[in-house]
Amino acid sequence: MTISTFANDNKSNKRESHIQIKIDKLYKEKIYKERNWLVLLHYKDKKNDRYSSYADSQSFFLSLIGKETPSKELEETLKALISDNHLTDSSVECIFPARFQWIRERFSIDENLFPKPLCPKFEEFYNQMKAKTLSVVFASFHPEHPASLFGHTMLKFNSENGEPAELEDVVVTYAAVIPRLIDPFGYVFNGLNGRFPGSFEIQKYKYKIYEYNEYENRNLWEYKLNIDAKGIDKVIRHLWEMQKNHFDYYFFDENCSFRILTLLEVANSELYLSNINNLLIQPADTIKLIAAQDNLLEEVKFRPSIIQRYRHKYGYLDESERKLLKDLIENDIEIEDNVNQDRKSILYDTAIDYLLIKKAMEKGNLNEIDKEKYFRYNQLRGGTNYLTNLNGYYNPPVFSNPLLGHDPSQIMFSGGNSSNGSFAELSIRPVLRDFTDPYPGYSPYNQLFFLNTNVRMYENGKTPKLQEMHFIQMTSLNPIGQLINKASWRFDTGLKSLLTEKIFKEDPGIVYGFSSFGFGVATEPFYYLSPYSLVLYSFIDIRGDISNTFVKGYRLGSIVTVGVLCRINERISFHLIGDYRSYAIGEKQYFPEVSIQGNYQLMNNFSLEIQYRKVHSTSLDEARFGAKVYF
């Protein structure tokens, strides 16, 4: 044996001995149960010291049983230091820099025996992600896209270099990878059962501003966090490791918000954010959870949607200026020189926002004429210093902050009297809100039910009976005006009892299926005097019902609706509806109906509700009073 060979063997023996000591320490002190290690590999305690990782790729683990056994995964990771002879990107430490960084610190690894490898690809990634602070960004609810009904959260890496440079900051999002061609039922089934893979995506913030703020007309709320430089370093290293992994995506719990919470736990393992037992983990709920932590939330920043921004600016104009804006937009008539330059800036700035709205409504494209207008208006507007300093000009209402909203689920106990007898009713609504619920934290123009279920017990009944169930009910009001004309729409499908439309001496126990879809128009006449206080709307829907008790087993017709939504203040609201539902095919019938519903919010998560409705063609009427609890 040569001297050099002997020296190498001696060094190898020292390496193995060094690691064996660490492995013995691992089991003796149960280091594998330390929270730092558990959050790095997304382990969850399944009781009685049984663990399992949320990570669903075997390539994310060095041990074949690492997914269920954190001790073996840690042991194999330590052993990898011995066998890893690569000092470049192919090194196992370059592939998993977060866990090896923790191991070197926790086990006091001798760097003379185990020198750190050079990882140029990781270093390039690290420099791209490097930031001074972190923010969680909440994109508000988007009712026109099923994947974003409840909003979306992202993690933003802030360079802190000022407003223009902020557009180049990067954001991390987590989303399901969904096939382009998939039917609605497959979409829901696979999403509820974790059959879509979920992965992290990194983009420049400017693209998310365009996508959410302008194209999808969604507000963005940024919540700056108190995370130190060491925590940010951990997150960056961990994100690099995530390239070797995916998670099964579940719409209700293991979704975008849940994954952002786990990233924050990597940054600070003393945070217990992902230990949520809710059936549904919503983005807005996670923002409230973050705000509830001691010393975690530092600052809140608001980026209003393009339409909200435009409507606010439009309200800054007087009547003569609105006529000038109309001429500018419709006829491209330049503003005369006798108009004050500061007011010109406001007019051109508002016209620019209008072009951005037009771009979004035309699926992201402007024609060549509008493109030329856009650049010319930017020049004519001049600098924005005057606009920035203008009192209130860039400050639209902030009611949509999710921290202000009531909890998303609801249970209501009510009692009342109808032509079919006195009754007690239990209503359960998993999500989200109706028009009379308090609107702070939500959109005042959207209504969404999901599996909303009402069960009644009539005075002469022996058992509770299903009154109605809405599988999904969505209404999106888009008030016209301010030179914007966008259709409102709604969709509803579910089950209803015949007791909702006719009088019976005894409960027939008949439930029918229904589905309807329609378009309409809405207006808000007093928006600038009192925003959201009065909304008028009208709809025309196609309606189809099915039951073996109907002639031919179905009935097909239409619904004409007029409605008035009146909000006295943020706590008191009324909703007056007039419906004319008629069926011309199948079983021919008609049901003119009026109803009024009122809601009074006593506390943040408690309201009282009253409702009266009358079906004129059958003389059915009913009144009820109930108490709502949001949770």
User: What CATH code is carried by the domain that includes residue 496?
Assistant: 2.40.160.40
Same domain, 478 and 547: yes
Q: Does 398 reside within a domain?
A: no
Same domain, 263 and 144: yes
Same domain, 514 and 548: yes
Domain membership of residue 351 as a residue range: 317-389
Those residues of the chain that have pLDDT short of 70 are 1-9, 143, 145-147, 184, 279
Phi, psi (5° rounding) for residue 60? -80, -10
Same domain, 542 and 515: yes
Q: Does 233 reside within a domain?
A: yes
Specify the pLDDT at position 365. 78
Q: Does 239 reside within a domain?
A: yes
Place of tokens 């339409």: 307
Beta strands in 124-219 (DSSP E): 133-139, 152-158, 170-176, 196-204
Same domain, 269 and 330: no
Q: Which 8-state DSSP code applies to residue 481?
A: B
Same domain, 259 and 169: yes
Residue 291 identity: A
Angle at 58 (CA atoms; ends 54, 63), nearest 5 degrees? 100
The pTM for the full model equals 0.90
How far does CA 29 lie from the centroid of its chain? 42
Specify the pLDDT at position 29. 95
Q: How far apart are CA 586 and CA 591, in angstroms?
A: 15
Q: Does 312 reside within a domain?
A: no
Q: Does 400 reside within a domain?
A: no
545-575 pLDDT per residue, tens: 999 999 899 999 999 999 999 999 999 999 9
Same domain, 132 and 174: yes
Same domain, 42 and 24: yes
Final residue before a domain boundary, out of 389, 422, 437: 389
Q: Which residues pair with 555 in a beta bridge?
A: 545, 586
Same domain, 50 and 82: yes
Same domain, 222 and 198: yes
Q: Does 210 reside within a domain?
A: yes
How many domains would you assign to the chain? 4
Final residue before a domain boundary, out of 356, 389, 422: 389
Q: Does 94 reside within a domain?
A: yes
Q: Does 123 reside within a domain?
A: no
Same domain, 499 and 560: yes
DSSP per residue, 70-122: HHHHHHHHHHHHHH----STTSHHHHSHHHHHHHHHHTT--TTTSPPPP-HHH
Q: Which residues contact 17 (CB under 8 A, 6 or more apart)?
A: none
Same domain, 525 and 576: yes
Specify the pLDDT at position 147. 59
Q: Are 393 and 384 in contact (CB under 8 A)?
A: no
Peptide bond into 347 cis (omega under 30): no
Final residue before a domain boundary, out of 246, 278, 303: 303
* Region label for 167, one of left (φ > 0), alpha (ψ between -120 and 50) or beta (otherwise): alpha
DSSP per residue, 264-322: HHHH-TT---S----SS--HHHHHHHHHHSTTTEEEEEEE--HHHHHHHHHTTS-HHHH
